[in-house]
Amino acid sequence: MAKVTVDGIELEVPNGSTILQAAELAGKEIPRFCYHERLSIAGNCRMCLVEVEKIPKPVASCAQPISEGMVIKTDSDMVRKSRRSVMEFLLINHPLDCPICDQGGECYLQDEAVGYGSDHTRYHENKRAVNEKDFGPLVKTVMTRCIHCTRCIRFLSEVAGVPELGATSRGEEMEVGTYVQRALSSELSANIIDLCPVGALTSKPYAFTARTWELRKTDSIDVLDAVGCSIRIDAKGPDVLRILPRINDAVNEEWLGDKSRFALDGLKRRRLDRPWVRQNGRLVEASWEQAFAAIAQRMHNVAGERIGAIAGNLCDAESMIALKDLMASLGSGNLDCRQDEAALDSTRRAFYLFNTTIEGIEEADACLFIGVDPRREAPVLNARIRKRWLAGKFPVGIIGPSLDITYDATHLGDGPSAITALQNGDHEFAGALEAAAKPMIILGQGALARPDGAAILAAVWALGAKYGVMNADWNGFNLLHVAASRVGALDMGFLPASGAKNLAGMMQGGVDILWLLGADEFDMSRITADQFVIYQGHHGDAGAARADVILPGAAYTEKNGTYVNTEGRAQWGARAVMPPGQAREDWRIIRAFSELIGHALPYDDLPAVRARLAAANPIFGEIGQVRRLAGIDLTGPTGEGAFDAAPFRPAVSNYYQTDPISRASPTMAKCVAAHASPLASAAE
Amino acid sequence: MHLTPADIAALGEIVGHYPHKRAACIDALKYMQARHGYVSDQSLEAIAVLLDMSPAELDEVATFYNLIFRKPVGEKVIYLCDSVTCWMLGRDKIARKIQDLIGIRQGETSTDGRYTLLPIVCLGHCDHAPAMMIDDRLFGDVEPGQLPGILEPPD
């Protein structure tokens, strides 16, 4: 610790702090453009100048470490004059086109210009103009507005791990751009929109849509992957216009994947906004009463064991518990949440969670991927792995297809034989795992959604036991899920009851009535023509196309729902807008139907459903918390049988289109097209 | 443009002079420019791979220095000083004379590919302003009338 004085306030700050950090500890605000606490220090905008006694010139506080006894002034005449001069230089080539700039109202430059800008210009020469760049379908550029803080360049090379941006030339000629004009290839690329302190990089799909002060802001949780990133939903009237990340150091820091940010235009398309009933082979619009009556009529005299339910990947826990309770009241235990038929073992939470936790990745000292592609299955989590890798001494091994990943990794093999080889110590990576004090294994759904999945799960657990991945202080056994609903469903037991049918058992006529709760991700042709299908969900996707009755539900932006992420962290998503048309919150639909058939569920408001959830598993009451489970009990999951020699296949082959919302999104379709031919827009 | 085995050997030797590969980037760019007259996109990408840098990073370096050319130049590059002293003592007249003689303005390459004319900031020859340089040869006290002899030296 060192003693410093900031504007007369004496305080102790940790050694190695910068003046800017010391000033923040003293509660002083320092304006800055290039400095960002999650990026390396550049020190090139000069806006953070402060005065330090015994140093004759103003000092860039973001880049200057403190020393013992420093006396810092953050608001002296000299400081204000210096900052005003810096601002004048920054504005020389800035177009001042705020009225037509999308950043207006949330622009650092605009904000700081209020404090340090002049009311007139002394520069009467021509301002420079910079050619536009093509950064792909998500990031719009107006490079004339750029003030060369290099945050975008640093983000892509440091956090995203794809060093595609650079600043060419120097001085007045300096321009930020991609090398030979290619679309950005990172799944995290749109975070540079948030980082840009001016309007040089703005959101292309949101361009000229709304001003920030017109928007209604709702804090919620993302469901398009299983990480459960904290988001803010910005809505105007009935429309969700924008999704931004919120800071949550335990989960997403302040990043968000491009799909989670931009699939929102899919919320306006292919929506189910009224009930439909199939009559004479065709779906016909119906009222809620007609739809419920059609289901009740078909259910009449059908035995419970001939009814089944499948939960989809985006479901909230409230609707799943309601459906589970409804099925129980009908006498059915035919439930499944595993549309990919992954061999998950729900007997202990440690068998299906990301036990290390996302924050815990930073403590690990070796990592083995098995049938997982974190870059595409969970880009924000992958950024955390890269962060750990950048810190050094972090060997990464891959069993599965060799990946285009954002850090160095050793490829051990394509399929299960590599697990056996490692178990026998037949690969040099065994040494890396043995040497590690806190090794991690990340097992993907791609390795479990195959006939030998149970054997793989057991073998990987055994591998973990052999290499000390689970011990009293550390649990490095991790499953990376891709479905936001999955862990919640496993926690509440949305699985076949003893002796009841799983997804495969319900197919091919295994049940007479099938209730699909937002389930679109399995092959609908496995349902035979005489099976009666109820599809409850929000998009006209695969499930709705096969349905006999469609019940219009709410998307994640339209309901208050609980989601448990891959770490086992229960979080509350919140309603930002109302569901379209006659669509309703999903658990209320099930509750209403249960009453009609005389099995009224014992809850009729949200707190009551949540109390029911907490009774099913206390996890649902511990919002935002995660229980880190030590790996003391080494008893493994049961799973026997021979391995299939086939190589592992990743669970997500197309990052941009994984669910009904992103498949309905025109922006995501543009991303797929841009990345299918990355050279299409190359300028020669 | 793929690197020839000779290029790779030469670049390897350059890299060997430094503790970090990327430290050799300027020397590597200069080497490629000496071999091909300029640094093409393809050679930039090839060197970037060799130095464990991204093409964007290497392009930042290449475009920072005005003596690294990212576009083809003529056989001879004429650098005409445009600093204060040379400007006061008539460098504009020299530029006009060059345009009369070989038909190129600053930043242009003659159609026969023999000359490129570039402005440069201070050749450190102010006491003999106006100054110019052709490749590595420095000329001071240049008068427009001397230019034919400077540009077309008698063999």
Q: What is the mean pLDDT of each run of 10 residues along chain A (684 residues)?
A: 94 95 95 96 95 95 95 96 96 94 96 94 93 93 96 96 92 87 87 97 96 96 97 96 97 96 96 96 96 96 95 97 97 96 94 96 96 96 97 96 91 94 92 95 96 95 94 94 97 95 95 97 96 97 96 97 97 97 97 95 96 96 88 85 91 94 97 73 36
- Whether chain B has a CB inside 8 Å of the CB on A15: the answer is no
Measured between CA atoms, the residue of chain A closest to residue B67 is A169
Segment B114-136 mean pLDDT = 93
Q: With an 8 Å Cβ cutoff, are B63 and A164 in contact?
A: no
Looking at the DSSP bridge assignments, the partners of residue A11 are: A4
CATH number of B76-151: 3.40.30.10
Q: Which of B41, B56, B63 sits opposite A163 (nearest CB)?
A: B56
Polymer length in residues for chain B: 155
CB contact under 8 A, A166 and B64: no
- A299-to-A280, A290, A474, A534 alpha-carbon distances in Å: 19, 14, 50, 11
Residues of chain A positioned with their CB less than 8 A from the CB of B60: 166-168
Contacts of B64 in chain A (CB under 8 A): 169-170
Report the CATH fold assignment for B5-64: Arc Repressor Mutant, subunit A (1.10.10)
Dist CA A477 CA A460 (whole Å): 9
Which of A169, A170, A178 lies nearest to residue B56, judging by beta carbons? A178
**The residue to which tokens 């504005």 are assigned:** A91
Distance from CA of B108 to the nearest CA of A (A): 18
Q: Please check whether residue A162 is in contact with residue A136, taking contact to mean a CB–CB distance below 8 angstroms.
A: no
A625 contact partners, CB below 8 Å, separation of at least 6: A569, A570
B42 near A CB under 8 A: no
Residues 417-476 (A) with a CB less than 8 A from some CB of B: none
Considering the entire predicted model, what is its pTM? 0.93
pLDDT, tens digit (0-9, with 9 covering 90-100), for A86-97: 999 999 999 999
Alpha carbon A109 to its chain's center:
29
A73 SS3 class: strand
Give the residue from chain B lying closest to A172, CA to CA: B64
- A47 three-state secondary structure: coil
Query: What are the C-alpha distances in Å from A547 to residues A289, A528, A539?
Result: 17, 12, 12
Is some CB atom of chain A closer than 8 A to the CB atom of B61?
no
How confident is the model at residue A683, as a pLDDT?
Answer: 35
Q: Which of A157, A168, A170 lies at the smallest CB-CB distance from B59?
A: A168
Structure tokens at A384: 């955390």
Cβ neighbours of A157 in B, within 8 Å: 54, 57
Q: Mind telling me how many Å the CA of A252 is from chain B's nearest CA?
A: 27
Q: How confident is the model at residue B1 (pLDDT cuts 50, 70, 90)?
A: low
Please list, in sequence order, all residues whose beta carbon lies within 8 angstroms of the beta carbon of residue A8, skipping any fewer than 6 positions away: none
Choose from A133, A150, A168 for mutation: most chain B CBs within 10 A: A168
| ipTM of model over 0.95 | no
Query: What are the tens digits of pLDDT across the range A509-532?
Result: 999 999 999 999 999 999 999 999
Whether A167 has its CB under 8 Å from any CB of chain B: the answer is yes
The reported pLDDT for the residue numbered A678 is: 47
- Tell which of B51, B52, B60, B65 to mutate to test the A interface (max A CBs under 10 Å): B60
Bridging pattern class, strands A470-471 and A474-475? antiparallel
Which residues in chain B are closer than 8 Å to A135, comparing Cβ atoms? none
Nearest CA in chain B to A166: B56
The answer to whether the CB atoms of A163 and B41 lie below 8 A apart is: no
Distance of CA A501 to the CA centre of its chain: 32
Q: Is the CB of B55 less than 8 angstroms away from the CB of A165?
A: no
End-to-end Cα spacing for chain B: 34
Preceding peptide of B130 cis, ω within 30°: yes
Residue A593 in contact with residue A326, Cβ under 8 Å?
A: yes
Q: Do B60 and A178 touch (CB under 8 A)?
A: no
- Chain B residues with CB under 8 Å of A166 CB are 54, 56-57, 59-60
Question: What pLDDT is recorded for position A680?
Answer: 43
C-alpha distance from A202 to closest chain B C-alpha (Å): 22
For chain A, say whether B54 makes contact (Cβ under 8 Å). Answer: yes
**What residue segments make up the domains of chain B, in order of their start?**
5-64, 76-151
Listed in sequence order, the residues at least 6 apart from A139 whose beta carbon sits closer than 8 Å to its beta carbon are: A184, A189, A190, A192, A193, A201, A202, A203, A204
Return mean pLDDT, chain B.
92
SS (H, E, C) chain B: CCCCHHHHHHHHHHHCCCCCHHHHHHHHHHHHHHHHCCCCHHHHHHHHHHHCCCHHHHHHHHHHCCCCCCCCCCCEEEEEECCHHHHHCCHHHHHHHHHHHHCCCCCCECCCCCEEEEEECCCCCHHHCCCEEECCEEECCCCHHHHHHHHCCCC
The contacts of residue A523 (CB under 8 Å, 6+ apart) are: none
